[in-house]
Amino acid sequence: MINDLGPDAMGMHYPNHETTPQPTTSAVKPPTLSIKTTMLAHCGRDILGQMFGRTFGLVLFNAAAYVASASVPCQIVAGGLGAVFGGLQSQRLAAAQIGSDSTLQYCGVAACTLMGATAGAAIASFGTYQPVAALAVGSALAISVSLAKFCRKRPSDDIAVDATKATIFLVSTAASVCAITSLDTYISPSINLAPKNLGVVLEATTVEFFKSSLERWGPSVDRHALNFNGKVYASMAGLLPYLAATVLLNGYVSGKMQPDHETHDFEKLILPLLIGAIANGVRGACNAAAVYVCHQNGWGVAKPDASIIRPSIGPKSPEAIRMSKKIAIRFFLSVCRNAVHDRLTHAGMSVVQASILSQGIYGFFAQNRDLVYDLMKGEGWNTSEETQSVTSDTSSLSSIAIPNDTKSSNVVDTSVEVSSASTSETSEKNSADQSNEVSIIVSAAHSSDTSSEVSNE
């Protein structure tokens, strides 16, 4: 009679009986810090930056508006800044989303840059509202066409989608310039609008300086742990709370506290502006919570093994290139809001009603301001899943699945990283370790900007 040797001895007598290893999947790394504390830190940083930015911006607006003879110089300076920031934003968006692989694409990027600069100059200096409407409609159409990638029947349809999106970019920017030529009953509705937009420049610069310097002062949520799809989910989740806060505080409460007539008096405008800064604190807290929830539920996760809540490392030096792009976006959206508000008040609407309507429109685009920045870096909708390589030959790039919508520049960067990683490995590494390393490199977030910018955002 043979005694029961147990399951551990089965392999000794029956070598063919081996336990099949179960496949493992990488789980989302649990956070080590409290999300409530992190939300409070985001809220405090945003309110602090807004308070300083709005105060400095009002000081410049007040100083420029007091000089009665400086109305024309203010329009010239404001128009020049609008052209620079409008052209920069249009160029970066067009280059990232249209491409620059052919002469026709180069011409398209140049056309968008020129038209964006023209629209920015008209909006900032004269408060012309027609290009604002044209650009808003064009943005909505481009977003709608981009969503069509999820409904495509064949991957080859992406070419037609991208071509249509590029056409919309061109048509919308052309329509914005053509709209300027269809003059309204007035083209310069307010002498205070150009000085106000000069104040917006200082406000946008100050806010972005504080955000870039203090974003790691206290715990923070790593937004780049999500891919572009996940960032869209988080942005839409935080839209309603921020929209309600900005309409209530920046629109109704601030409008009630402002005088019915146009003024640049510092004492009469400072309190309404500072109260409106609270809405940005609501935005920061809700967006942080939305990113956290998306990451914990696995919605659009790009880096599952990353810590979604990052510990505090203190203030840091802001990056000039990154700040310039974000200043351009914030300034352009703000001058568009001022143009719409000014147009509504001169059309006979009360200050409160005009504030509510203009802030509601502005709130939607301001909530998605970070997505515009992501598009300027070349990100876009992810329509295919990345799969890890299962072959032991890591020197072949054909075993790695790359998303269909990945830009050509990102593919080149990835191939260089994979090649260098595979050649630097010694023969002592086994094939499983190599496969894991390659999959980690490929799953990293792509960006056309510097790697330090991605890691620090």
Instruction: Read off the pLDDT of each residue in 78-92 and give the average, rounded to a whole number.
Output: 93
338 and 438 together in one domain: no
Give, rounded to a whole angstrom, the gap between the first and last alpha carbons of the chain.
Answer: 70
Q: Identify residue 300 by its one-letter amino acid code.
A: G
369 and 420 together in one domain: no
Last residue of a domain, one of 325, 352, 376: 376
Q: Residue 429 has what pLDDT?
A: 42
Instruction: Please tell me which residue, 10 or 120, carries the higher pLDDT value.
Output: 120
Q: Residue 323 has what pLDDT?
A: 92
Highest mean pLDDT: which of 18-27, 28-37, 143-152, 230-239? Answer: 230-239
- pTM, whole model, 2 decimals? 0.74
115 and 50 together in one domain: yes
In-domain check, residue 121 = yes
Instruction: Please tell me which residue, 379 or 289, carries the higher pLDDT value.
Output: 289
Q: Residue 152 has what pLDDT?
A: 67
Average pLDDT, the chain: 77
Residue 411 has pLDDT above 80, yes or no: no
90 and 145 together in one domain: yes
pLDDT tens-digit map of 417-456: 333 334 444 444 444 444 444 343 333 344 334 433 433 3
- CA gap 157, 228 in Å, rounded: 20
Lowest-pLDDT range of 326-335, 339-348, 423-432: 423-432
145 and 233 together in one domain: yes
Cβ atoms of residues 238 and 367 within 8 Å: yes
In-domain check, residue 242 = yes
Instruction: Please tell me which residue, 232 or 191, carries the higher pLDDT value.
Output: 232
Q: Residue 380 has what pLDDT?
A: 82
In-domain check, residue 5 = no
- Describe the crossing of helices 157-181 and 103-126 by its angle, rounded to 10 degrees: 40
Last residue of a domain, one of 331, 355, 376: 376
- CA gap 26, 199 in Å, rounded: 49
Instruction: Please tell me which residue, 242 or 188, carries the higher pLDDT value.
Output: 242
Instruction: Output phi, psi for 301, to 5 deg.
Output: -85, 130
In-domain check, residue 78 = yes
Residue 237 has pLDDT above 70, yes or no: yes
Lowest-pLDDT range of 188-192, 334-338, 440-444: 440-444
Q: Residue 174 has what pLDDT?
A: 66
291 and 217 together in one domain: yes
What percentage of residues in the chain have a pLDDT greater than 70? 68
In-domain check, residue 17 = no
Which two tokens mark 77? 């300076």
pLDDT tens-digit map of 200-227: 999 999 999 999 999 989 999 999 999 9
Number of domains in the chain: 2
194 and 94 together in one domain: yes
CA-atom Rg of the chain in angstroms? 26
Q: Residue 360 has what pLDDT?
A: 93
DSSP structure class, residue 248: I
- CA gap 176, 120 in Å, rounded: 10
Instruction: Please tell me which residue, 413 or 135, carries the higher pLDDT value.
Output: 135
- CA gap 450, 446 in Å, rounded: 10
Q: H-type helices in 32-128, by residue range?
A: 35-66, 71-97, 103-126
306 and 425 together in one domain: no
263 and 359 together in one domain: yes
428 and 353 together in one domain: no
Highest mean pLDDT: which of 49-58, 174-183, 252-261? Answer: 49-58
In-domain check, residue 45 = yes
Q: Residue 142 has what pLDDT?
A: 74
Residue 410 has pLDDT above 80, yes or no: no
353 and 438 together in one domain: no
58 and 158 together in one domain: yes
In-domain check, residue 261 = yes
Which two tokens mark 401? 């699945």
Give residue 423's domain range: 410-456
Torsion 104-109-114-120 (CA) sign? positive
Q: Residue 245 has what pLDDT?
A: 96
Q: Concatenate the DSSP letters of all residues of 154-210 into one string.
A: STTHHHHHHHHHHHHHHHHHHHHHHHHHS--S-S---TTHHHHHHHHHHHHHHHHHH
With tokens 């003879």, the residue in question is 69
Last residue of a domain, one of 355, 376, 397: 376
> In which band, very low, low, confident or very high, does the pLDDT at 263 lie, cut at 50, 70 and 90?
confident
Lowest-pLDDT range of 233-247, 301-315, 383-397: 383-397
Instruction: Read off the pLDDT of each residue in 53-57 and give the average, rounded to a whole number.
Output: 95
pLDDT tens-digit map of 105-155: 888 889 889 888 988 998 998 888 878 887 877 777 777 777 776 676 676
Instruction: Please tell me which residue, 105 or 41, carries the higher pLDDT value.
Output: 41
Residue 331 has pLDDT above 90, yes or no: yes
Q: Residue 146 has what pLDDT?
A: 72
Lowest-pLDDT range of 97-101, 116-120, 347-351: 97-101
- CA gap 454, 123 in Å, rounded: 32
In-domain check, residue 343 = yes
Residue 362 has pLDDT above 90, yes or no: yes
Lowest-pLDDT range of 7-11, 115-119, 288-292, 449-453: 449-453
Q: Residue 177 has what pLDDT?
A: 62
Cβ atoms of residues 212 and 312 within 8 Å: no
